[in-house]
Chain A
Amino acid sequence: MIQIPSDKIVREIALSCTDVRRSFKVGDKPLEVLHGVNLELRTGERLALMGTSGAGKTTLLNILGLLDRPTDGQVRVEGLDAWTLSPKKRAELRNRRIGFVFQFYHLLPELTALENAVLPAMILHGRGAFLSRRKDYREKAREMLNRFDLGDRFHHRPSQLSGGEQQRVAIARALLLDPPILIADEPTGNLDSKTGERVLEILLDEQTARGVSLLLVTHDERLAARCERVLYMKDGMIEMDSSEPIPT
Chain B
Amino acid sequence: MFRTFLSLRYLRARKTNWIGMAGILVAVAALVLILSIMAGFLAESRRTLRGNLADLVIQPPASEMLRETTGDWIPVKTDLDRLLEIVDAHPKVVAATPQLQWYALFAPDGGESALQRPMQDAIELIEIIGVDPESEEHATTFYDSLTIEPGKKPHLGSYCSVGRPSDPKDPFRNLPRGLRAERGRPKTPILVGEQLAYLWGLRRGDEISLVTATFDQESGELNQTGANDRFQVVGSFRSKDNETDSRRIYMDRRALADWLQKDRDWSTVLLKVEDYERDKDVVRADLWQTLHDEQFLHAPGQISSEFRTWEDFRRTLLKAIENEKSLMGIMLSLVLVVAGFTVFALLSMMVTEKRRDIGILCALGATSRGVLTMFLLIGLWEAVIGSAFGALIGVWGAINIDAIERKLSETFGYQIFDRDIYLFDHIPAEVTTSGVAWIVGGAVVSTLVFAAIPAWRASRLDPVEALRHE
8 Å CB contact of B365 from A110, A120, A126: A120
Interface bits A105-130 vs B (CB < 8 Å: 1, else 0): 01111110000000110111111011
1/0 contact trace for B340-368 toward A, CB 8 Å? 00000000000000001101111111111
Q: Are B463 and A67 neighbours in the complex by a CB distance under 8 Å?
A: yes
Q: Which residues of B contact A130 (CB under 8 A)?
A: 1
The interface bits of chain B over 363-388 (1 if a CB of A lies within 8 angstroms of the residue's CB, else 0) are 11111101000000000000000000
- Chain B interface size band reads 20 to 34
| B158 at the A interface (CB under 8 A) | no
B364 and A123: CB pair below 8 A? yes
Flag whether A94 is at the interface (Cβ < 8 A). yes
Contact of B2 among A65, A94, A110, A122 (CB under 8 A): A122
Q: Cβ of B367 and Cβ of A62 under 8 Å apart?
A: no
Chain A proximity mask over B1-31: 1 for CB below 8 Å, otherwise 0: 1101110011001000000000000000000
Asked if B469 contacts A123 (CB within 8 A), the reply is no
Residue pairs across A and B with CB atoms within 8 Å: the count is: 71
From known contacts A62-B464, A68-B464, A108-B357, infer whether A91 and B4 are also in contact, taking CB-CB under 8 Å: no
Q: Is the CB of A87 within 8 A of B467?
A: no
- Report Cα–Cα, A206/B359, bound state, in Å: 25
Contact B463 A125 (CB under 8 A): no
Q: A94-B364, A106-B359, A108-B357 are in contact. List 15 more A-B contacts (CB 8 A).
A: A62-B464, A67-B362, A67-B467, A87-B367, A87-B368, A88-B367, A92-B365, A94-B365, A100-B364, A106-B467, A107-B360, A109-B357, A110-B6, A120-B365, A126-B1
Q: When the two chains form the complex, which single residue of A91, A111, A125 contacts B9, counting CB atoms closer than 8 Å?
A: A111
A102 touches B1 (CB 8 A): no
By secondary structure, the B interface counts as helix
Known contacts: A104-B469, A110-B13. The answer to whether A123 contacts B365 by CB under 8 A is yes
Question: Using Cβ atoms and an 8 Å threshold, which residues of chain A touch B363?
Answer: 65, 67, 94, 100, 102, 106
A103 interface contact, C-beta 8 A: yes
How many A residues face the partner with a CB closer than 8 A? 34
Whether A119 touches B4, Cβ cut-off 8 Å, given contacts A68-B464, A106-B467, is no
Within 8 Å CB of A119, what residues of B?
2, 364
Kindly list chain B residues whose C-beta atoms are within 8 Å of the C-beta of A67.
Answer: 362-363, 463-464, 467
The A interface, classified by DSSP as helix, strand, loop or mixed, is helix
Residues of A in contact with B (beta carbons under 8 Å apart): 62, 65, 67-68, 87-88, 91-96, 100, 102-104, 106-111, 119-120, 122-127, 129-131, 173
What B residues does A94 contact at CB under 8 A?
Answer: 362-365
Q: Closest CB-CB distance, A8 to chain B, in whole Å? A: 29
Query: Are A120 and B367 in contact (CB-based, < 8 A)?
Result: no
- Once A67-B467, A106-B360 are accepted as A-B contacts, the answer to whether A123 and B366 lie under 8 Å apart by CB is yes
Q: Nearest A residue to B14 by beta-carbon distance?
A: A110
Q: Is the CB of B13 within 8 A of A127?
A: no
Contact status A127-B357, CB under 8 Å: no
**11 A-B pairs whose Cβ atoms sit less than 8 Å apart in the complex:** A88-B367, A91-B362, A95-B366, A104-B469, A106-B360, A110-B6, A123-B365, A123-B370, A129-B1, A130-B1, A173-B364
CB pair A108–B463 under 8 Å, yes or no, is no
Q: How far is the CB of B423 from chain A (nearest CB, A)?
A: 54
Residues of A within 8 A of B368 (CB): 87
Please give, as numbers and ranges, the residues of chain B lying within 8 Å of A106 by CB-CB distance: 356, 359-360, 363, 467
**A123–B467 touching, CB < 8 Å:** no
Whole-angstrom distance between the alpha carbons of A69 and B43 in the complex? 65
Chain B nearest CB: distance from A124 CB in Å?
A: 7
Q: Which residues of A contact B364 (CB under 8 A)?
A: 94-95, 100, 119-120, 123, 173
- Please name all residues of chain A whose beta carbon is closer than 8 Å to the beta carbon of B463 when the two chains form the complex: 67-68
Given A94-B364, A106-B360, the answer on whether A131 and B10 have CB atoms closer than 8 Å is: no
Return A175 CB to nearest CB of chain B, in Å: 12
A-chain residues with CB within 8 Å of residue B2 when the two chains form the complex: 119, 122-123
Q: Which of chain A's residues has its CB closest to B357's CB? A: A108
Q: Is the CB of A127 within 8 A of B367?
A: no
